[in-house]
Structure 1
């Protein structure tokens, strides 16, 4: 009887050890997942979209420069990519109306990247509103039918940005995959970063002159992603399936 109790006691300790290890493992992976979430969450408030359910959205930010956007548009056209979303700074669009017109003619969606490319977390609500509306006015004058999509110029935003967007009828769009092309880490690294994307992901690229390697990386990226899902603009992604959103304070 004593042997039976000792044996079961050992088994009980082993079982408890397994439970404890499993618990810590679950906490670890939960923490890792949370750390990779593009923005922090809160219990309530306006939402920002960072992932969809169907399709893969190639998104390009343009804030300055006139050398890289054209070659990137050439590459998308050559590779047969008919859907993508370009978030344009209003100030940049004013200086390059011919490129904006080409983006629209190729059938790509245009979203609002604000006007002056400022960090919205450093502005008060009225200044954010002013910046968004100023960019919106630029697009209207150019007869560009913009989707009601807004991306914070620097990628940083808080509840002020979301409230302004909600008031103006915009959806704030973040991303689930960052190609980090603006850091110019090398074509292979950009391809590797983008290859993490799967069906439903929104990928961040840049077509500003600071992104010197994006054009060279795109053919391999496009070839790889075609096997994972069809290319779709952000508005269609939002309209045609469930989306993942985040809430921030």
Structure 2
């Protein structure tokens, strides 16, 4: 009888362990992999398996246009990810709070908005660490997404970012709104190309004069295409994401 009881207990324990192992494997399978055989890569697009799209906005200077952008996002109930320089964040903690309270995700663009390709490796590491400290003081710890200033990066920069426990984010659609090419041109560039898994690059600095107006059409237009606005974190979770190897 004791042998039979121990046998039953053994089977139960083995099944419980097996189920726990499957859950653990399933959890890790949901995490995106950004390196290929040791080569660091930049995230460029999410999975095409789900009807998700990520709006991203860069901010490095000015305080006027960001409010117009936030107003449009709120009106259309659209979530976005804001990539912000640490230097700007320190100067405008009230706007950072407003972005966060709007349930938008916070990413960083380093501390100073200066190309990492024009700086020495130790300067790049220092800039990232300084940005981390700036955001931590504002209550944003463990920011995992970084868009290097101007989108400039190479293998060495990506390796430094990876060593910091962060992931570089690029984009798949760029309407070049910072050039102010015309509201309709911005709208067409996004709506004609926007599809599942896209990461859309836009700006909320004061250099953009037409972005907020373009969003009045872009936001409902993407919704009509059956797309849901999500953060970068949600975009890459639960699906295979595309990355780009930087030379």
TM range (shorter): 0.7 to 0.9
**By how many angstroms is 1:124 displaced?**
2.0
Q: Is the 8 A contact 1:178 1:205 kept in 2?
A: yes
**By how many angstroms is 1:146 displaced?**
5.4
Q: Is the 8 A contact 1:45 1:248 kept in 2?
A: no
Q: Aligned partners of 1:240, 1:165: CA distance in 2, in Å?
A: 23
Q: Which has the larger radius of gyration?
A: 1
Q: Aligned partners of 1:128, 1:177: CA distance in 2, in Å?
A: 26
Matched, 1:99 2:106: no
Who is 2:158 aligned against? 162
Q: Aligned partners of 1:236, 1:128: CA distance in 2, in Å?
A: 28
Q: Aligned partners of 1:156, 1:129: CA distance in 2, in Å?
A: 15
Q: Aligned partners of 1:163, 1:186: CA distance in 2, in Å?
A: 37
Who is 2:8 aligned against? none
Map residues 33-48 of structure 1 onto 2, 5 A cutoff: 45-48=39-42
Matched, 1:200 2:194: no
- Residue by residue over 1:198-239, the C-alpha shift from the partner in whole angstroms, topping out at 9 and shown as x without a partner, is 010000000000011100000200111112411111011111
Matched, 1:52 2:46: yes
- Residue by residue over 1:5-25, the C-alpha shift from the partner in whole angstroms, topping out at 9 and shown as x without a partner, is xxxxxxxxxxxxxxxxxxxxx
2:229 to 224, 228, 231: 231
- Residue by residue over 1:33-64, the C-alpha shift from the partner in whole angstroms, topping out at 9 and shown as x without a partner, is xxxxxxxxx98610110001131000000000
Q: Aligned partners of 1:136, 1:104: CA distance in 2, in Å?
A: 17
Map residues 1-249 of structure 1 onto 2, 5 A cutoff: 45-53=39-47, 54=50, 55-81=52-78, 83-145=79-141, 147-195=143-191, 196-226=193-223, 227-249=225-247
Q: Aligned partners of 1:228, 1:199: CA distance in 2, in Å?
A: 9
Q: Which runs of 5+ in 1 are unaligned?
A: 1-41
**By how many angstroms is 1:114 displaced?**
0.7
Q: Is the 8 A contact 1:109 1:147 kept in 2?
A: no
Q: Which runs of 5+ in 2 are unaligned?
A: 1-35
Q: TM-score, normalised by structure 1?
A: 0.80
Q: Is the 8 A contact 1:72 1:207 kept in 2?
A: yes
Secondary structure of the corresponding residue to residue 218 of structure 2: helix
